[in-house]
Amino acid sequence: MIVAIDGPAASGKGTLAKRVAVHYGLPHLDTGLLYRAVARDALAQGIDLDDAGTAAKVASGLQVATLDDPALRTVGAGEAASRVARHPAVRTALLAYQRSFANRADGAVLDGRDIGTVICPDADVKLFVNASAEVRAMRRFLELTGRGIAVSEASVLADIRARDERDLTRGSAPLVQAPDAVLLETSNLDIDAAFRAAIDLIEAAMSCAGRAG
């Protein structure tokens, strides 16, 4: 079973994807880490993040073993990721890895922005996780301050809005709900409630597919 989970920054898709993966015993790929790592490597090499060709070369040489780097979890890394993620050539360079991850024998759970639309258009289940910008900013603020990172609520909200704008308006694989994705609106749900809702939606989609097949 392939589960595609998309949504905007701090919508909770990553936490949900992790829990869904554990629940079904499937491997999980947080595809945002790929873009974060490309930006990290580009900055380390002094490359301009707006230079598509050079950023794509960095993406082609990405070592996925480095995705657990804690430096990828900062606010700056998310912002830099959304700059390299605009380049079609960067996205193309990362496509094969994501597809091969998804197409493992038992399936996988992937989360990102374009999983249901571009990476796994034939995923068995597609969820689009959303929440208001204010709720997402509050969640990210609590997450960052909980990790001892000093930020203001206002700056987190501004970052979320800037990334929404960049992710929604870019020409290549913009953030959009796939026509066959189910919307999971989590503004009024805590993580346990969102997780239960996600499992219910996945079970419903799988039983529908079972009946159809």
Residues of the shown chain interacting with ligand CDP in the complex, contacts defined by CB under 6 A: 9-10, 14, 31-32, 35-36, 78, 81-82, 85, 112-114, 163, 167
Q: What is the DSSP string of 149-205?
A: ----HHHHHHHHHHHHHHHHH-SSS-S---TTPEEEE-TT--HHHHHHHHHHHHHHH
Closer Cβ to ligand CDP, 57 or 170, answer by number: 170
State in angstroms the smallest separation of the CB of 140 from ligand CDP: 7
State in angstroms the smallest separation of the CB of 200 from ligand CDP: 23
Closer Cβ to ligand CDP, 26 or 37, answer by number: 37
State in angstroms the smallest separation of the CB of 46 from ligand CDP: 21
State in angstroms the smallest separation of the CB of 16 from ligand CDP: 11
Nearest to 80 by CA among 66, 65, 90: 90
Closer Cβ to ligand CDP, 133 or 206, answer by number: 133
State in angstroms the smallest separation of the CB of 148 from ligand CDP: 18
Closest residue to bound ligand CDP by CB: 32
User: Which helix H or strand E contains 108, and what residues bound it?
Assistant: strand 108-112
For residue 4, the cross-strand partners are 110, 126
State in angstroms the smallest separation of the CB of 116 from ligand CDP: 10
- To 10 degrees, what angle do helices 88-102 and 52-60 make? 20
Q: What's the distance, CA 122 to chain centroid?
A: 18
User: Which helix H or strand E contains 2, and what residues bound it?
Assistant: strand 2-6
Closer Cβ to ligand CDP, 86 or 182, answer by number: 86
3-state secondary structure of 3: strand
151 touches 76 (CB < 8 A): no
